[in-house]
Each structure stands twice: as structure tokens, then as C-alpha cells.
């Protein structure tokens, strides 16, 4: 494969391009600012497959009528430690922004609190849902279910989505420790990006049309049958996410795709749950020392690194040098802006 043509953009330019795209699609000012920030952070920190490359997918969800560009989310307190959101067929992050301050206050009061949301879309990296809570001094776990394309271990047809989960915790004097991961071997957008860039995946991540495991991203996109990570272990995590995401929140199950199919969307109106824990309320005054000790055992331990820290290096480079965006992706985005805005 030859070198792909790219264009260097500052993070401000990335944000402006995302804003322009959402504005052309008629997205409300409040939601537009939230989503543009998510796209920018994805380009800054990774996964970049969820950054500018995702803008045409966001746009399709709005212009097809699948997602509501003028959503007015509602957040209701249902118990001392529970918030429930209805995203009004908009994106999860818009609803979560309305719940953010109250969720933190509830966690600090009760020691633990949760926000679940239904009737919501989600196309971003999950790390950005939990990182702000860790920046506020909380430990956070987030999950969301997604479009069915992961085959349970030993199965022949998809049951679960890539069903990601994310974790974040504060780290004294440094950026929080944050990681997110799909329940599948590889996230869907990473497979799409490999196909677009013309290379195979480093290991088998899905099924070919003949049912065999393959590294060919085009074959996997053809079957839409991804493999769970760690075989039965990843399938078990996908099940957990389906329960905590869809079942707890009242979102659409990964297998219930009829509405999605009618609009040709890449996501479902799933369910999301984030749990926030205040370590100061759990009786261990040495919490920060524990985190430091765990981290110290990883640092200088061969090639090991603290989960998520690789993205902090990406962040530093992007803030200084900007990001290199594929020219064909930028052309596609500019076409979307022109078409949606006309």
C-alpha cells in the first residue's frame, strides 16, 4: 500500500470542522458543542478511528432521520444514588452532560452513584464518558451496548455488540488513569479503517463468509461477524455490558435492529450506564498511596505500561503538532457539509 495523502490540522481546526459538520446537519448548539469536543478529543488522544472518520457516520444518523438533531434530553433522579436519562433519540453525551454535576454530587454524598440512559446513540470512544469523573476525584466505570456483530464463543451468528467498557480513576498529581476497550477482538471502526487503508488486521478478529476466522477486514465487514476477545471471557464481558447497558437502562438490545436497518445506521438506540465511586467515602485514607504503589509496580517493569498512558503521549504530540488527517476523509467530510447544508 502506498503512502496515504494527509493534511495537517490543528486541534482547533478539527473542532471547527466538526462544529461545521454538525451545524450543517441541524444539530442544536448545545449538542453540537458536546459532540464536536468528543470528535476533537478522539483525534487528540485516540482512538482516531472515532474522530474525523466518524463525522460522516454522525451526519448520516441525523440526515437519515435516525437520530434527533434537536434532542432535548431529560434526566430524572430515581433514587438516592440513581439518575435515569432519556436522550430523546439524541446522543448519549448530550444527556450525560446534563447529569454530570448531579452525578458527582450524589457520589460524594452517598459514596456511589449511577447514571443510566436510554433512547440514546453513541459512536465515540467510551473513555471520554468516564475521564471527567476521574478528573473530579472519582473512580468511574462505564458501559454501553451496541449493534449486534459479535458472535458468542462457539456460536455462528452475532448476539452482542462490540459492547465496550471503560474505567477511570484519579492519580495524585498526574492525569487520571483511563482505559476503554471493546468486548470484541477489534473495534468495528478499527476494522473499517484497516479496510479503507488497505491492510489486514494483525490477528484474526472475525469470521469470513465460509465461517473461518480471518484477518481480512473486508471479509469481516461482509459478514459483520466479529470475534470476542479472549474467546469465552470476552463473550462474558459482552453479556455483562448488555445487562448493565441495555437491560438496566431500558435501551434497545443489540439484536433488535429493525429500526436501525431501515435507516442504514451503524448503531442502535442502546443503553448506557456509568457508575461513579468516591474513594473518600470507602474508608481507606491511603487510596492515593495504593494507586501510586500499583503504578510503581508497572513502571520500569519490562515493556509494561500503565493502562491508557500511551494516549497521553498522543495527546502531547497532538497538542503541539496537530494531527494528520487523511485527505480522502477530509474530502468526504466537506462533501457531507455541502450536501447536508444545502
The residues annotated with a catalytic role in the active site are 49-50, 190
Element holding 337 (H helix, E strand): helix 327-341
State whether residue 52 is helix, strand or coil.
Answer: helix
Q: What single DSSP character describes residue 4?
A: P
End-to-end, the C-alpha distance of the chain in Å comes to: 36
| 62: region left, alpha or beta (phi > 0 left; psi from -120 to 50 alpha) | alpha
Give the C-alpha separation, 332 to 330, whole Å.
5
State whether residue 15 is helix, strand or coil.
Answer: helix
Nearest by Cα to 116 from 203, 243, 31, 281? 243
Within 8 A by CB and 6+ apart from 342, the residues are none
Nearest by Cα to 113 from 143, 141, 82? 82
* Concatenated DSSP letters of 205-254: -EE-TTS-EE--HHHHHHHT-BPBTTTHHHHHHHHHHHIIIIIHHTPPPT
Amino acid at each position: 500500500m502506498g503512502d496515504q495523502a494527509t493534511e495537517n490540522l490543528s486541534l482547533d481546526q478539527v473542532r471547527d470542522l466538526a462544529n461545521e459538520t454538525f451545524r450543517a446537519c441541524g444539530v442544536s448548539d448545545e449538542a453540537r458543542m458536546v459532540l464536536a469536543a468528543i470528535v476533537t478529543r478522539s483525534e487528540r488522544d485516540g482512538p482516531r478511528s472515532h474522530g474525523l472518520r466518524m463525522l460522516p457516520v454522525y451526519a448520516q444518523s441525523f440526515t437519515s432521520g435516525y437520530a434527533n438533531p434537536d434532542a432535548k434530553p431529560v434526566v430524572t433522579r430515581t433514587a438516592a444514588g440513581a439518575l435515569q436519562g432519556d436522550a430523546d433519540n439524541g446522543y448519549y453525551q448530550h444527556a450525560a452532560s446534563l447529569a454530570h454535576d448531579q452525578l458527582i454530587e450524589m457520589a460524594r454524598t452517598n459514596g456511589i452513584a449511577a447514571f443510566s440512559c436510554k433512547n440514546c446513540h453513541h459512536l465515540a470512544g467510551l473513555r471520554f464518558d468516564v475521564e471527567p469523573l476521574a478528573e473530579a476525584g472519582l473512580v468511574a466505570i462505564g458501559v454501553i451496548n451496541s449493534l449486534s456483530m459479535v458472535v458468542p464463543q462457539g456460536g455462528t451468528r452475532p448476539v452482542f455488540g462490540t459492547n465496550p467498557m471503560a474505567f477511570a480513576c484519579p492519580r495524585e498529581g498526574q492525569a487520571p488513569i483511563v482505559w476503554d476497550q471493546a468486548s470484541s477482538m477489534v473495534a468495528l471502526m478499527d476494522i473499517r479503517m484497516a479496510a479503507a487503508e488497505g491492510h489486514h488486521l494483525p490477528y484474526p478478529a472475525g469470521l469470513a463468509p465460509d465461517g473461518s476466522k480471518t484477518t481480512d477486514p473486508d471479509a469481516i465487514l461482509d459478514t459483520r461477524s466479529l470475534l470476542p476477545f479472549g474467546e469465552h471471557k470476552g463473550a462474558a464481558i459482552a453479556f455483562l455490558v448488555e445487562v448493565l447497558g441495555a437491560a438496566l437502562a431500558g435501551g434497545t438490545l443489540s439484536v433488535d435492529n429493525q429500526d436501525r436497518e431501515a435507516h442504514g445506521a451503524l448503531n442502535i438506540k442502546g443503553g448506557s450506564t456509568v457508575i461513579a465511586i468516591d474513594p473518600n467515602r470507602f474508608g481507606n485514607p491511603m487510596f492515593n498511596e495504593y494507586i501510586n504503589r500499583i503504578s510503581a509496580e508497572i513502571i520500569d517493569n519490562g515493556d509494561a505500561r500503565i493502562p491508557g498512558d500511551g494516549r497521553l503521549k498522543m495527546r502531547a504530540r497532538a497538542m503541539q503538532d496537530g494531527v494528520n488527517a487523511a485527505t480522502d476523509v477530509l474530502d468526504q467530510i466537506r462533501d457531507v457539509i455541502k450536501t447536508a447544508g444545502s
